[in-house]
Every structure is written in C-alpha cells, then in structure tokens.
Amino acid sequence: MTVVLDSWAILRFLEGHSPAVEEVEQLLDSERPLMSWINLGEVHCVLRRLHGEDAATETVRDLRDVVEARLPDERLVLEAARIKADHPMAFADAFAAALTVATDATLWTGDPELLLPASRWRWRDLRI
C-alpha cells in the first residue's frame, strides 16, 4: 500500500500526539511514504514560526531522509486546483489529496478538511 502523509500527520508526529505519533512512527520504520513538497513547505512554515529558521530547516532536511518528497508538476497543480474548487479546504491540503489520487495511495491525516466520506481519495484518520 502506498501512503501519502500531509502536514497534519507530520506535525502531530513531531509534537508526539497520540495516536498519530505511534502510527506515523511505525510507518516510517517500515516504508518510505510520499509527501508533497507543498506540504513539506507548510511544515517548515509552522516550525519556523514556533522554533525559528534553523530548527525548521533541519527538521525538513531530516524528513527528506524518511519520506519521498514530490515536486508538483502541471498536472498535479491543476488536480489540486480542481479539488480545492470542489471542496472547502486549504490549497496545501488539496496538494496532499491530489498526490494521493495521482498515486492511487491512501492519505494518512487527521485534518477534517481531508476526511471527506465522498472524496475521490482514500484516507486513514490518524485521530482514532
């Protein structure tokens, strides 16, 4: 199974919030999930605000060792735009959903904007 992580999953992992931290830790120990660079950028932004530039940059560098970071191409950007147009969510969340659809993966998240019953992407709720 291919897994995509969004920024919600990574931030809860870094903060040590259960049950997400255990789930993501097990995943990172067993495989290399996908993540959009847009979502990695969002992680950097949050961490920079909380802990400064050096900590944010170091954390993103470390994450690149355990996730497969994907740069969005034109097709993925347009798919994210379509998803955002159809669903009320942040644009970064739409990139996580678009990458999930494009790779026929399962999105691991706890973000309510992405946990949509009728969505075109499969998801796993990391809050439970």
Instruction: Kindly list the domain boundaries of the chain, sorted by start residue.
Output: 3-125
pLDDT at 1: 75
The pair of three-digit structure tokens given for residue 33, joined into one six-digit string:
């999930």
pLDDT at 20: 94
Amino acid code (one letter) for 38: I
pLDDT digits (tens, 9 = 90+) for 72-116: 999 999 999 999 999 999 999 999 999 999 999 999 999 999 999
- The helix or strand, by DSSP H or E, that contains position 35, with its residue range, turns out to be strand 34-36
pLDDT at 118: 87
pLDDT at 61: 97
Pairwise CA distance, residues 42 & 17, whole Å: 18
Taking residues 13-22, report their average pLDDT: 94
**For residue 125, what are the contacts with CB-CB under 8 A and spacing of at least 6?**
109, 110, 115
Pairwise CA distance, residues 102 & 104, whole Å: 6
Backbone phi and psi for residue 17, each to the nearest 5 degrees, phi listed first? -80, 125
pLDDT at 128 over 90: no
| Residue range 3-125 in CATH 3.40.50.1000 | no
Taking residues 46-55, report their average pLDDT: 97
Single pTM value for the model: 0.94
Taking residues 51-78, report their average pLDDT: 97
pLDDT at 80: 98
